[in-house]
Amino acid sequence: VCSMGNSTSRLYSALAKTLSSGAVSQHQDCLEQADSAQLDPIDPKDLLEECQMVLQKRPPRFHRNFVDLRKNAAGNHRPIRVMQWNILAQALGEGKDNFVQCPMEALKWEERKCLILEEILEYKPDVLCLQEVDHYFDTFEPLLSRLGYQCTFFPKPWSPCLDVEQNNGPDGCALFFLKDRFELINSANIRLTAMKLKTNQVAIAQTLKCNETGRLLCIAVTHLKARTGWERFRSAQGCDLLQNLKSITQGANIPLIICGDFNAEPTEEVYKEFSNSSLNLNSAYKLLSPDGQSEPPYTTWKIRTSGECRHTLDYIWYSQHALNVNSALGLLTEEQIGPNRLPSFNYPSDHLSLVCDFSFNQDPDRLL
């Protein structure tokens, strides 16, 4: 990746010149971090402008508003913005997912990656949790590390992306946090089990120290097994993740935020397990409903050869007594999404991004 200055042409070189697929596939085990420490920092405004130049022939991005959810006066520290997003693996989007109403031109990586980056740059998360990342080493790690993020990736052991011709390596979960806001205390890559068997689904859990408050916070990202008929399997994976997180948070002594594509509606057992866990978790996006008890009507909306699919599968869980949700990003309306659904020329994924601003509870000794 080329060094960046203020010149738009130099910036475009860094955005456009990525590692070849062949180079990525030769990567030893996809667990090592690429060395971007010697590269120049990127001004996020410059990168956003560059993305917008690449996308100038596409329709403008959708506008979404944050909903203020504060019940009390603002906390005494800067809110922590957390973003959750299944970005749609490039190999799956082009080769397996069969989005019958989405033109192949809309899935072209050189432009779609700019749509993804534009969304991230617009919302400026302090912590970013992604699923279906198959361009980690050639796009996300090189660019986001130069924006000040510490980056971690954990691929699926048997990624379906590898079945697609001309793939870019396995997809997996990725976790990014701003180094000027947090210090990494502990990191765990978790291969989820179900019925005592290791599965193809993974999670990353990191304990961070907030530089401003000195308080600890555990962030986890996961992506559970997809498709109907696998409800018990997802339930077992969820139980395994909860057990791991109980240990990592020392029995809920460390506040916790879990981001993920759970591939499960709120009616499923795995959702109930998280709701009733001894970790005292709540789902942040429930707070957007009038009664604070209902999940959004959808977080993914697509049309495949099998028909139209509108589901709520994505969540941001949090320690409801230790953390406050200050605001949450509203979802796209049906009118914005349009009749052809997602992905589209306007939006790069079949899943909507979720973004919340959190603050620590003022009483650090309050039970989690």
**Site of tokens 């279906």:** 132
Q: Report the distance separating Cα 174 and Cα 151, nearest Å.
A: 7
Q: Report the distance separating Cα 53 and Cα 64, nearest Å.
A: 21
Q: Report the distance separating Cα 86 and Cα 350, nearest Å.
A: 8
Classify the C-alpha dihedral 153-156-343-315 as positive or negative.
negative
Q: What are phi and psi of 119, to 5 degrees?
A: -60, -45
- Residue 365 is predicted with a pLDDT of 54
Q: Report the distance separating Cα 115 and Cα 256, nearest Å.
A: 29
Q: Report residue 362's pLDDT band, with 50, 70 and 90 as the boundaries.
A: confident
111-138, pLDDT tens digit by residue? 999 999 999 999 999 999 999 999 999 9
Mean pLDDT of 341-348: 95
* DSSP strand pairing (127-133 vs 149-155): unpaired
Going from the N-terminus, what domains does the chain have, and what CATH number goes with each?
103-165+174-363 (3.60.10.10)
Task: With CA atoms as reference, report the closest residue to 278 among 320, 306, 237, 231.
Answer: 320
Q: Is the pLDDT assigned to residue 30 strictly greater than 70?
A: no
64-94, pLDDT tens digit by residue? 999 999 987 666 789 999 999 999 999 999 9
Report the greatest alpha carbon distance in the chain: 55
Structure tokens at 31: 């667990």
204-219 as b/e: b if 16+ CB within 10 A = bbbbbebeebeebbbb
Average pLDDT, the chain: 89
277-293, pLDDT tens digit by residue? 999 999 999 999 999 99
Mean pLDDT of 19-32: 42
Mean pLDDT of 231-255: 96
Rounded to the nearest 10 degrees, how much is the dihedral formed by the CA atoms of 158, 162, 167, 172?
Answer: -10
- Residue 12 is predicted with a pLDDT of 54
Q: How many residues does the chain have?
A: 368
Q: Is the pLDDT assigned to residue 8 strictly greater than 80?
A: no
Mean pLDDT of 97-106: 89
pTM beyond 0.85: yes
Structure tokens at 141: 């790690």
Q: At what angle do helices 44-54 and 109-123 cross, to 10 degrees?
A: 140
* DSSP category for residue 35: -
- Residue 296 is predicted with a pLDDT of 97
